[in-house]
Amino acid sequence: MTPANAITLKDLTLGYRRHPAVHHLSGTFQAGSLTAIVGPNGAGKTTLLKGIVGALKPLSGQITFCGVKRRDIAYLPQQQELERSFPIQVADLVAMGLWRKLGPFRAVTGENLARVHEAIAAVGLSGFGARAIGTLSGGQLQRALFARLLLQDAPVVLLDEPFAAIDARTTADLLNIVHRWHGEKRIIIAVLHDMELVRAHFPESLMLARGPIGWGKSAEVLRPENFLKARAMCEAWHDDDAVCAAENAPEAARA
Amino acid sequence: MSLYDLLIAPFADYAFMQRALVGNIALSASAASIGVFLVIRRMSLMGDAMAHAILPGAAAGYLIAGFSLFAMTLGGLLAGLLVAISSGLVARATPLREDASLASFYLISLSIGVLIVSLEGSNVDLLHLLFGSVLAINQDALVLMASVASVTLVVLALVLRPLVAECLDPGFLHHAGGSGRFVHFAFLCLVVLNFVAGFHALGTLMAVGMMVLAPSAARFWSESLGAQIALSVLFAVTSSIIGLVISWHAAVPSGPAITLTLGIIYAISVLGGPFGGILTGLIRRPHLQS
């Protein structure tokens, strides 16, 4: 990893059916940055992560990757598509994190198997390796998914509400892992709702309310006037909404 | 009647019973294995739909070339792959779900098949295709079944990791750069292949039984994927042997005999299986310390 790693958003608009969910957002996630994305429900936080991983094409604007590739992103989505009734053990689930390294065929043995067990131990699940994933609690499953992220060893980590419905002790354990990644100069972006947690652990914040409200040092972004602004966001949209003025401008200039 | 007369004699004395036995064991190994994934992916009924989708292709093959193994197999294979791939494409390219798109395509396929048959004014014995006959397993059919079983097991071994990842967490596989789409289609092709191989011995409908009943029963006996696959195959092989013996002594069609034997194993599993069996759940055992 070179220190020049960065993800830059340039006048980025993401959305669904031409309706913007993230509106004219510009800024850079630098290497070694630990950023919390905050904002009310429907503010475009998840949409932004989807845009960064490439699951959603921008309506306008650009996302540029410097030093890292889109495939280098480890992404923990909020709504798990995970089939929990699948008859598979925790160690096998965690070992999926080695996919990039091992591909579809190479066996998980020797050093790699040791890494799987290290990762399981690192998230505090020692002794759970042989348990069926269907028998895990919500918090234990989240620990297992963090173990999988550990093995992915990605320079960019995106977490969507990683601590929702997770108890204090598990949150603290998983935050330790986040800090460890931070120390390794990875780009970490997490969608969060717990402002105390953001203030205590995340040096930078991006407050979204469809459009950007603030992006910078957490202490400066998480101010009462910003929260008021974010709360005033109008969530409704109409089928006959006019085309955004900023979109119109270049066309008008051309005509 | 001695045990020899009961169990060994039918196979020892008659070549067609030997062929049926070998063919069914081969099919058990492959169909019951991929069935485990079919059931986990909640696509059990998809098997039934595929069985119907293959039928018109096989019927068309029969009309063109008569009772030819090659033509009927090719027809069934083409119809099955066409339905599987087009419904998969529609499901992935549009908001329509896989079940709805598959149902649409198999109904179209079935209609075309019935239309072809009626236009030709011929009386194809569709019942044979649906329910099969051990007498139909000649040397060529046996080679076909064995080949399909071999191909299935090799391909399954090759795509096992991506297939597990696709079933377990499709989003993860996608972000990690694996091709879930490719794995899904490879899996669908295997399903079609096994149906085509199965309709000679068991009939398309009964081949579904091996693919659905055996893994569903196995699910009640283990929480590990490997064990479920092994048990599923074991149940299918056992049912093949018992079913063929019953079909021989009672002079009943082999397909239903095998499937009903599987049905009995399934019922026992649902009732008494240690993982979620109904009766097992009724027994209250003292709880553990931790």
Residue B128 has what pLDDT?
63
SS3 A15: strand
- In this complex, do A82 and B224 lie within 8 Å of one another by their Cβ atoms? no
- What is the span of the domain harbouring residue B119? 3-270
Domain count, chain A: 2
Strand partners, B236: none
Q: Is residue B159 part of a domain?
A: yes
Chain B: residue whose CA lies nearest to A70: B175
Q: Is residue B282 part of a domain?
A: no
Q: Which residue has the higher pLDDT, A30 or B59?
A: A30
Give the pLDDT mean for A57-78: 90
Q: Is residue A74 part of a domain?
A: no
Say how many CB pairs under 8 Å bridge A and B.
63
Q: Is residue A164 part of a domain?
A: yes
- Look up the ipTM and state it: 0.78
Q: Is residue B201 part of a domain?
A: yes
Quick one: A146 and A160 in the same domain?
no
A185-221 pLDDT, tens per residue?
A: 999 999 999 999 999 999 999 999 988 999 999 999 9
Cα separation, B249 vs A29, whole angstroms = 75
Quick one: A163 and A255 in the same domain?
yes
Chain B: residue whose CA lies nearest to A100: B176
Task: Report the alpha-carbon angle B23-B163-B206, nearest 5.
Answer: 30
Choice among A15-19, A210-214, A237-241 with the minimum mean pLDDT: A237-241
Cα separation, A126 vs A31, whole angstroms = 31
Chain A: residue whose CA lies nearest to B224: A87
Q: H or E stretch including B54? A: helix B44-65
Farthest CA pair distance, chain A: 68
Most confidently predicted of A8-22, A99-113, B36-50: A8-22
Is B12's Cβ below 8 Å from some Cβ in A?
A: no
Is B228's Cβ below 8 Å from some Cβ in A?
A: yes
Amino acid at A5: N
What b/e readout covers B109-148, taking b as 16+ CB neighbours within 10 angstroms? bbeebeebbeeeeeebebebbbbbbbebbeeebbebbbeb
Cα separation, B242 vs B248, whole angstroms = 10
- In this complex, do B223 and A75 lie within 8 Å of one another by their Cβ atoms? no
Residue B127 has what pLDDT?
60
Query: What does pTM read for this prediction?
Result: 0.83
The CA distance from A134 to the nearest CA of chain B, in Å, is 9
Q: What percent of chain A has pLDDT over 90?
A: 63
Whether the CB-CB separation of B83 and B46 falls below 8 Å is answered with: no
> Which of chain A's residues have a Cβ under 8 Å away from the Cβ of B167?
83, 86
Task: For residue A19, give the nearest of A246, A239, A247, A211 by alpha carbon.
Answer: A239
Quick one: A91 and A9 in the same domain?
no
Whether the CB-CB separation of B165 and A99 falls below 8 Å is answered with: yes
Residue B123 has what pLDDT?
58
Q: Is residue B242 part of a domain?
A: yes
> Which of chain A's residues have a Cβ under 8 Å away from the Cβ of B170?
81
- What is the span of the domain harbouring residue A103? 79-154
CATH number reported for the structural domain that contains residue A238 in this entry: 3.40.50.300
Residue B178 has what pLDDT?
67
Q: Is residue B192 part of a domain?
A: yes
What angle in degrees, to the nearest 10, is found between the helix axes of B69-93 and B180-201? 150
Give the pLDDT mean for A25-43: 92
Q: Is residue A186 part of a domain?
A: yes
The CA distance from A9 to the nearest CA of chain B, in Å, is 20
Is B95's Cβ below 8 Å from some Cβ in A?
A: no
Chain B: residue whose CA lies nearest to A148: B172
Quick one: A149 and A167 in the same domain?
no
The CA distance from B155 to the nearest CA of chain A, in Å, is 12
Burial class (CB in 10 A: 0-12, 13-18, 19+), B78: middle
- In this complex, do B175 and A86 lie within 8 Å of one another by their Cβ atoms? no
pLDDT < 70: residue spans in chain B: 120-132, 134-136, 177-178
Q: Is residue B281 part of a domain?
A: no
> Which of chain A's residues have a Cβ under 8 Å away from the Cβ of B219?
87
Quick one: A168 and A243 in the same domain?
yes
Quick one: A246 and A187 in the same domain?
yes
Quick one: A17 and A61 in the same domain?
yes
Q: Residue A181: pLDDT above 90? A: yes
The CA distance from B156 to the nearest CA of chain A, in Å, is 12
Domain count, chain B: 1
Q: Is residue B290 part of a domain?
A: no
pLDDT tier at A252 (50, 70, 90 boundaries)? very low
pLDDT tier at A253 (50, 70, 90 boundaries)? very low
Q: Is residue A73 part of a domain?
A: no
Q: Is residue B280 part of a domain?
A: no
The CA distance from A145 to the nearest CA of chain B, in Å, is 11
> Which of chain A's residues have a Cβ under 8 Å away from the Cβ of B222?
87
CATH number reported for the structural domain that contains residue B87 in this entry: 1.10.3470.10
Amino acid at A69: K
The CA distance from B273 to the nearest CA of chain A, in Å, is 15
Burial class (CB in 10 A: 0-12, 13-18, 19+), A251: exposed
Quick one: A135 and A228 in the same domain?
no
Residue B188 has what pLDDT?
87
Is B165's Cβ below 8 Å from some Cβ in A?
A: yes
Is B180's Cβ below 8 Å from some Cβ in A?
A: no
- In this complex, do A89 and B169 lie within 8 Å of one another by their Cβ atoms? no
Quick one: A5 and A112 in the same domain?
no
Task: For residue A171, give the nearest of A134, A131, A138, A212 by alpha carbon.
Answer: A138
Q: Residue A161: pLDDT above 60? A: yes
Residue A233 has what pLDDT?
73
Q: Which of A81, A84, A100 to substitute to test the interface with B, most B CBs within 10 Å?
A: A81
Q: Identify which of B159, B169, B175 has the shortest CB distance to residue A53.
A: B175
Quick one: A159 and A35 in the same domain?
yes
The CA distance from B225 to the nearest CA of chain A, in Å, is 5
